[in-house]
Amino acid sequence: MNGRIAICITGLSTIFNNLTSIIHKYNDEELSNSVFFDLIQNCKSNTDIVFRNMKEASEVVNKLKQFTKDQITELPRSFKVKPLIDEIIDIIKFDWVSKDLKLNFNIDCNQDIEINSYPGAFSQVFSNLILNSVRHGMTKRYSGNISISIEVIDISKVSKMRIIYEDDGVGIDPKISDKIFTPFFTTNNKIGYGLGLSIVKDIITKQLKGTIENISKESDGVRFIILF
Ligand SMILES: Nc1ncnc2c1ncn2[C@@H]1O[C@H](COP(=O)(O)OP(=O)(O)O)[C@@H](O)[C@H]1O
Ligand SMILES: [Mg+2]
């Protein structure tokens, strides 16, 4: 998003410079037809760039608005955790199947664990984490592993759900680990807007009133601990 706005600023300043140059050359009677044509042509292509990037930026803003609205309007309900995770995997698996990546899931979760929570928000968390594993951790690979372990544990006499999410991809460089949850932070702006993990964190901390901790080590895959 910030990248798109920066592109627009560069494009607009190029258009501004070209127009200024046309005015000066015209006043000094130095404006040839070919220079005029080149400057105007360049203005046109920069206008296209600005237009395209503004449009994309406004799509991101709209998606965010819709997402916030969905989050606010979703009502809590009782659901079984393991079947929901299986369903999410089934819905998004085209993403890696189409890339010829064989992804193995090791899901350690009692079939009967049932919680009263927000299934839509829950799905967002898992689909973001899984798609990140595929898109960042396992590019150019033929196979990969994701482990999800879910347990209800007692912490100071309060029952909490603990989710440990791991993959065996390239992992997260410790140099960037304090930035990954920041909105618009991405190491690859061709595949994302850098919103996935900030949304995950928002859902877990604000909606589920929990915590998420990244304890990944570089070149050893990722490991997140979620508690709520
Ligand atoms: N499973 C993963 N393996 C390696 N890097 C990851 C993983 N998940 C997240 N990251 C890193 O965290 C950054 C932020 O992730 P995210 O907020 O989802 O944004 P995006 O996916 O749009 O880049 C990614 O750009 C990537 O560098
Ligand atoms: Mg992402």
Ligand nearest to the CA of 197: 1
Ligand nearest to the CA of 181: 1
Q: 7 CA to middle of ligand 1, Å?
A: 23
User: Atom 27 (ligand 1): residue with closest C-alpha?
Assistant: 187
93: three-class secondary structure by DSSP: coil
What pLDDT digit, counting tens, does each position of 185-208 carry?
Answer: 999 988 888 999 999 999 999 999
Q: 133 CA to middle of ligand 1, Å?
A: 8
| pLDDT score at 52 | 93
Q: 136 CA to middle of ligand 1, Å?
A: 6
Residue 159 has pLDDT above 90, yes or no: no
**Which contiguous run of DSSP H or E holds residue 36?**
helix 33-73
Residue 19 has pLDDT above 80, yes or no: yes
Cα–Cα dist 108/148, whole Å: 6
| pLDDT score at 6 | 86
User: Atom 24 (ligand 1): residue with closest C-alpha?
Assistant: 186
Residue 162 has pLDDT above 80, yes or no: yes
pTM as predicted = 0.78
**DSSP secondary structure string, 128-188?**
HHHHHIIIIISTT-SEEEEEEEEEEEEETTEEEEEEEEEE-SS---GGGTTTTTSTT--S-
Percent pLDDT > 90 in the chain is 76
What pLDDT digit, counting tens, does each position of 52-76 carry?
Answer: 999 988 888 888 777 777 777 888 9
| pLDDT score at 51 | 94
8 A C-beta contact, residue 168 and residue 144: yes
**Which contiguous run of DSSP H or E holds residue 8?**
helix 2-27
Which CATH number describes the domain made up of 77-227? 3.30.565.10
